[in-house]
Chain A
Amino acid sequence: MNRINKKLQEDKKLLSIYFSAGYPNINDTVQIIQDLEKNGVDMIEIGLPFSDPLADGPTIQESSTQALYNGMTTKLLFEQLATIRETVKIPLIIMGYFNPMLQYGIEAFCKKCAEIGIDGLIIPDLPVGIYAEDYKAIFEKYGLINVFLITPQTSAERIQFIDSVSNGFIYMVSSASVTGSQSGFGISQEAYFKRIADMNLKNPQIIGFGISDKTSFNQATQYAKGAIIGSAFIKNLTENGVGSIERFVGDII
């Protein structure tokens, strides 16, 4: 069974952390992953940097730009992760934009992920329709779970379709926004969380965008299986360095 599915069966609320590979320093990738696991994080999204990240706010954009400037490439990331499964057991997901994967070759990319022990992918600009038609068979051949996003504007009908194509979890974007632009949730977001929870989808939901601390984590996981922290974690890395991971995670769980 895929590590993501196994993790989703655990009787607890999951904390997932996103960071940009190659940031703050080019060789921090493995250390960050190991420290996150050691401190109790349940799942990690490893950001593959892209020059033009449309769905990201300034914090993730800047970390992505810096990572590229540091010399991060798809090939180098795979090299850094080559022996990651000797030390890390939790689910690992690569999150990145479609173009770098397209240039690497979608099948070659999936094959490499499977060899390393990557469990899933999140590709914000690969729409579910094109995935289902052109790429689903390749992802499944290599045992990779592809995770799709839904937003407060996504229609019920489309959510049902996304649920039918998904085989891991649904990434629930907390509000209409790019990453890192909100903090805390209001009444309308709680209503949206509840509306989705009441749909009884076959895939559990993990909420992302706008989760930055213990309060917002607890609020989000009242309605969902887990929550993802990205921009707030990167901001912490920028301000306090890689050595601050224990304290950052400890403040949340």
Chain B
Amino acid sequence: MSYHVNEKGFYGNFGGAFIPEMLYPNVEELRQNYLKITAEHSFQEEFRDLLKDYVGRPTPLYFAERLSKEYNTKVYLKREDLCHTGAHKVNNTIGQILVAKKLGKTRIIAETGAGQHGVATATVCALMGLECIVYMGEVDIKRQAPNVARMKMLGAEVRPATSGSKTLKDATNEAIRDWINNPENTYYIIGSVVGPHPYPDMVARFQAVISEEIKQQLLEKEGRENPDYVVACVGGGSNAAGAFYHFLDDEEVKIIAVEAAGLGVNSGESAATSALGKIGVIHGSKTLLMQSTDGQITEPYSISAGLDYPGVGPMHAHLFESKRAEFIAITDEDAMNWGIKLSKTEGIIPAIETAHAFAVLDTKKFKPTDIVVINLSGRGDKDLNTYIDYFKL
């Protein structure tokens, strides 16, 4: 079975480009060109140089000695939290801004939830001197003031999405509407492995640098390229797509995707799409999606703003359906406790999204010889206020 996208833009039953005709020319232009552009030597050279000198790659693969001892297994952490801007998100925005330039686009738009992708987009726009407009839900603008300020410092315009539930999905709708209204000069940098084909595949390819490095680094440290397990948190799923990418066809590597259970999978306040979602169409992609029986998209809940997307990338929907990946759901409480635990055990304050992934150590039993790689997708600076409020720090 293939876990990669087919020529029609589908991963098994999921994916495609369910877009209004108004978007067709832009999406089609991208579909016809993305592989060609990204394969060019000049593109690869610029992309690799920026990842190295600007983002700070390769990020370390760190052997977490104290955690390993406590759980009696070998835990490695892929340190995406050390990337410039504090998370893996920038791998993708660097890639896409170079594509946008090759396509001759002069105006960049993006959506953001917690603000991490917005900051990563504003950063690369500043780097390239391009106009940047970031759509952000009105509710999120209030919740994430420091990231709004960062985007403004970087020269971006932050536009509030005031429709619907005024959060990430609505910010995405607004960005898509902007693209419909500006079909000639504008490029839309999507922040995750979601949206119409070719976005899920393109974003996964840019994030795939994560698993490419894990393979090389593990070979140096353990004399083998493949771990026994690779673990990542999934909202839309871009850090997970990157961490899984080069292991998808190596069936001996077990893949674990960690979703946000919120207050509990069946509490009515959750973002565990694989457990609660049904097949549907959101933002141009056929995927698993949290929705009412009438097909209205529902608002998910998680304490971490980066995981509360009502869908999941089509690649992940396929990994779930085909059982290639195991999906587990972790509550707010367990994730928050892991935020403290990782800080005290390894001296690393993780993003709350990332903290969900660590709870796998309590959920599953690993053997002493197992190599478990956890993708440490982002750092916790942006979440300090949430940590402070939650633990009365």
Binding site for B on A (CB under 8 A): 50-55, 57-58, 61-62, 65, 68, 73-75, 97-104, 124-128, 130, 148-151, 153-155, 158, 173, 176-178, 181
Contact A177 B180 (CB under 8 A): yes
What separation, in Å, do the CA atoms of A237 and B57 have in the docked complex? Answer: 57
Asked if B296 is an interface residue, CB under 8 A from chain A, the answer is: yes
Range, interface on chain B: 35 or more
Contact B22 A149 (CB under 8 A): yes
What separation, in Å, do the CA atoms of A59 and B289 have in the docked complex? Answer: 26
Contact A176 B180 (CB under 8 A): yes
Chain B, 171-196, CB within 8 A of any chain A CB: 173, 176-177, 180-184
Contact A149 B297 (CB under 8 A): no
Which of B17, B19, B163, B295 is within 8 Å of A103, CB to CB?
Answer: B295
What separation, in Å, do the CA atoms of A115 and B374 have in the docked complex? Answer: 55
19 contacts between A and B (CB under 8 A): A50-B296, A52-B164, A52-B169, A52-B173, A52-B283, A57-B177, A62-B163, A75-B294, A98-B18, A102-B280, A125-B18, A125-B281, A127-B24, A153-B24, A158-B24, A173-B22, A176-B180, A178-B177, A181-B181
Asked if B16 is an interface residue, CB under 8 A from chain A, the answer is: yes
What separation, in Å, do the CA atoms of A149 and B163 have in the docked complex? Answer: 24
Binding site for A on B (CB under 8 A): 16-22, 24-25, 163-164, 169-170, 173, 176-177, 180-184, 278-284, 289, 291, 293-297
Contact B296 A151 (CB under 8 A): no
What separation, in Å, do the CA atoms of A99 and B282 have in the docked complex? Answer: 8
Contact A150 B21 (CB under 8 A): yes
Chain A residues contacting B177 (CB-CB under 8 Å) are 54-55, 57, 178
Contact B294 A100 (CB under 8 A): yes
Contact A124 B294 (CB under 8 A): no
Contact B20 A52 (CB under 8 A): no
Contact B169 A55 (CB under 8 A): no
Contact A127 B17 (CB under 8 A): yes
Contact A104 B295 (CB under 8 A): yes
What separation, in Å, do the CA atoms of A62 and B20 have in the docked complex? Answer: 19
Chain B residues contacting A128 (CB-CB under 8 Å) are 21
Which of B20, B163, B296 is within 8 Å of A58, CB to CB?
Answer: B163
When C-beta atoms are compared, the residue in chain A nearest to B297 turns out to be A51
With A55-B180, A124-B21, A176-B22 known as contacts, the answer to whether A61 contacts B296 (CB < 8 A) is no
Q: Could you tell me the distance in whole angstroms from the C-beta of A54 to the nearest C-beta in chain B?
A: 5
Q: Could you tell me the distance in whole angstroms from the C-beta of B311 to the nearest C-beta in chain A?
A: 11
Chain B residues contacting A57 (CB-CB under 8 Å) are 177
What separation, in Å, do the CA atoms of A102 and B289 have in the docked complex? Answer: 12
Contact A125 B297 (CB under 8 A): no
Contact B295 A127 (CB under 8 A): no
With A51-B164, A65-B163, A99-B282 known as contacts, the answer to whether A124 contacts B295 (CB < 8 A) is no
Contact B297 A52 (CB under 8 A): yes
Q: Could you tell me the distance in whole angstroms from the C-beta of A156 to the nearest C-beta in chain B?
A: 12
Chain B residues contacting A100 (CB-CB under 8 Å) are 294-296
Contact A149 B20 (CB under 8 A): yes
Contact A103 B181 (CB under 8 A): no
Chain A residues contacting B284 (CB-CB under 8 Å) are 54, 125
Which of B21, B22, B282 is within 8 Å of A52, CB to CB?
Answer: B282
Chain B residues contacting A148 (CB-CB under 8 Å) are 21
Which of B19, B20, B170, B295 is within 8 Å of A99, CB to CB?
Answer: B295
Which of A55, A62, A74 is within 8 Å of B294, CB to CB?
Answer: A74
What separation, in Å, do the CA atoms of A173 and B181 have in the docked complex? Answer: 12
Chain B residues contacting A126 (CB-CB under 8 Å) are 18
Contact A103 B294 (CB under 8 A): yes
Chain B residues contacting A178 (CB-CB under 8 Å) are 22, 177, 180-181
Q: Could you tell me the distance in whole angstroms from the C-beta of A158 to the nearest C-beta in chain B?
A: 7
Chain A residues contacting B18 (CB-CB under 8 Å) are 98, 125-127, 130
